[in-house]
Amino acid sequence: MSTPSGSRDWPRVQLHVVTGKGGTGKSTVAAALALGLASQGQCVLLCEVEGRQGIARMFDVDPLPYDETRIATGLVHDGEQPGSVHALNIDPEAALLEYLAMYYKLGRAGRALDRFGVIEFATTIAPGVRDVLLTGKVFEAVRRNSRNKGARQYDAVVLDAPPTGRITQFLNVSEQVAGLARMGPIKSQADTMMTLFRSPRTAVHLVTICEEMPVQETTDGIAELRAARLPVGGVIINQLRPRDLPPEQLAAARAGTLDRTVIAKDLTRVGVDADDELLDGLLAEAADHAERRALESTQHRLLSDLDTPTYELPRLPGGVDLGALYELAATLKEQGLA
C-alpha cells in the first residue's frame, strides 16, 4: 500500500465537497467517503442538495426529511468506538424558512411571505438564491453556531454536490449574490461562507471515470475551481476496469498474438471444454478489454498530470449496494482519502 492504513491525506478538512460529471458515480463516492470517515471514528453529516433522495436509496432507508437523520455506523476500527453517518436532504424552501426563523424575528410577516409566493419565488425563480440557500445550510452544518441550539456537532460534512459543470458557480456564493445584494446582511453572510469555502478546511473532490469527456470536464473543472480560488481536493477515478492481465499480455491481446494452444491446454487441464467457440470468445474479449484498457491508460496519464492526488475505485460488475459502499469506503480509507 502506498499509504499505510490510517494515514489520512485530508485530516484538516471539515467540508468535503464531492462533484463529478453525470454518470461517473459522484453520489456513490460521496456516500463511500462519508462511511470511510465514520470508520475513522468521526461523526459525519452527508448532505444531498438535488432532491433526488439518492442517499436514502443507497443506504436503503426511508426517504429523508429536512432533518438530520442517523443512517449508518462506520466500521469498527482498532477496537475504537465507530463513528456514524447522519444524512440531510437539503430542501431550499425549508432552508429559507429555517434561515428566516434563525436570523429574523418575522412572526406573521414570515407566514405572509409564504402566502404571497415570496418563498416559492426565492427558491425557484430568483437567480442564484437557491444555490445560496443550499450552500448556506451546508455552511451552518459545518460551523454550528449558538443560534441553532442543541444541534449536533459534526467532525466532517460530506456534500454530494451538483455536477462538475456547475460546481464553481454553486460554491461561488459571493459572486452569486453580488448582482443582487451589494450590501446588507446577505452580502456579509455570503462573504463569511466564502471564507470557509476558500479555506483549507474545505476540499472539493472530483469524481471521474477514465473516459475522454469526463476527464476533460475534470480538467476544466479544476481550472475553474482554481481560478475562483476554491480548494481542489483529490480526483477519484471511479469504475476502473479489472486489472487481470499484465501489460505484456494486454499488448499481445491487442496484437492478437496470445497463444491459443496454451490457453486451450490450461482450460482442458481444469476440466473446461476448450472448444473453438470458447477460445474465440475469450480471445475476442481479451482484445476488446485490452483496447479499452489502453484508452483508459491514456486518460489515466492525463489525470496523473493534473498535480492533484488521485484515488482509484474499481468497477463493480454486480452494481453498488450497501455492502459495496462499505467495500468502497474501505478502499478510500486505505488510499488515504477518508
Partner 1 sequence: MSSARARPRTHPRVGPLAAHPHGSPALDVDALLDDRETGIIVCCGAGGVGKTTTAAALALRAAERGRRVVVLTIDPARRLAQSMGIEELDNTPRPVVGVSPQGTSSTDQPDDQPDEPGRLDAMMLDMKRTFDEVVEAQASPEKAAQILANPFYIALSSSFAGTQEYMAMEKLGQLHRDAKQSGSHDLIVVDTPPSRSALDFLDAPERLSSFLDGRFIKLMLAPARGPARLLSAGFSLVTGALTKVIGGQMLADVQAFVAALDTVFGGFRQRAQQTYALLQARGTAFLVVAAPEPDALREAAYFVERLAGDGMPLAGLIVNRAGTPPSESLSAEAALAAAERLRAEDPDPASTDSASTDSASTDSDSGEDGHADLTAGLLRLHADRARLVSREQQLRDRFSAAHPGVATVVVPALAGDVHDLTGLRRIGALLARE
For the segment 269-308, give every residue that binds partner 1 (CB under 8 A). Answer: 269-272, 277-278, 280-286, 288-289, 291-292, 295, 297, 300-301, 304
Choose which of 223, 242, 256, 322 interacts with partner 1 (CB under 8 A): 242
Which of the stretches 33-41, 66-74, 79-87, 259-267 binds partner 1 when contact is defined by CB under 8 A? 259-267
Helix (H, G, I), strand (E, B) or coil at 301: helix
Which triple of cell numbers denotes residue 273? 471444454
Distance CA 106, CA 60 (A): 39
Q: Give residue 241's identity as a one-letter amino acid code.
A: R
Q: Is residue 149 a contact point for partner 1 (CB under 8 A)?
A: no
- Give least dist CB 153 to partner 1, A: 28
Question: Could you tell me where the beta strands, DSSP code E, fall in the chain?
Answer: 15-20, 43-48, 69-73, 84-89, 156-160, 202-209, 232-240, 310-314
Contact 252, 224 (CB under 8 A): no
Choose which of 60, 67, 191, 244 interacts with partner 1 (CB under 8 A): 244
**Which of the residues 159 through 218 are near partner 1 (CB under 8 A)?**
162-163, 165, 169, 176, 179-186, 211-213, 216
Number of residues that bind partner 1 (CB under 8 A): 92
- Bridge partners of 308? none
Length of the chain: 338
Choose which of 54, 83, 136, 221 interacts with partner 1 (CB under 8 A): 54
Choose which of 84, 168, 238, 335 interacts with partner 1 (CB under 8 A): 335
How do beta strands 202-209 and 69-73 pair? unpaired
- The CA–CA distances, whole Å, from 318 to 110, 128, 312 equal 49, 39, 18
- Give least dist CB 88 to partner 1, A: 17
**Which of the residues 93 through 112 are near partner 1 (CB under 8 A)?**
100, 104, 106, 108-110, 112
Q: Is residue 52 a contact point for partner 1 (CB under 8 A)?
A: yes
Estimate the crossing angle of helix 276-304 against helix 247-255, to 10 degrees. Answer: 120
Q: Is residue 267 a contact point for partner 1 (CB under 8 A)?
A: yes
Question: Which is closer to partner 1, CB of 112 or CB of 255?
Answer: 112
Q: Is residue 4 a contact point for partner 1 (CB under 8 A)?
A: no
- Give the closest residue to 55 by CA, choosing from 39, 37, 76, 69: 69
Question: Which is closer to partner 1, CB of 6 or CB of 22?
Answer: 22
- Give least dist CB 195 to partner 1, A: 21
Sequence-ordered alpha helix ranges (H) in 270-314: 276-304
- Give least dist CB 266 to partner 1, A: 4
Cα torsion for 122, 127, 133, 134, to the nearest 10°? 130
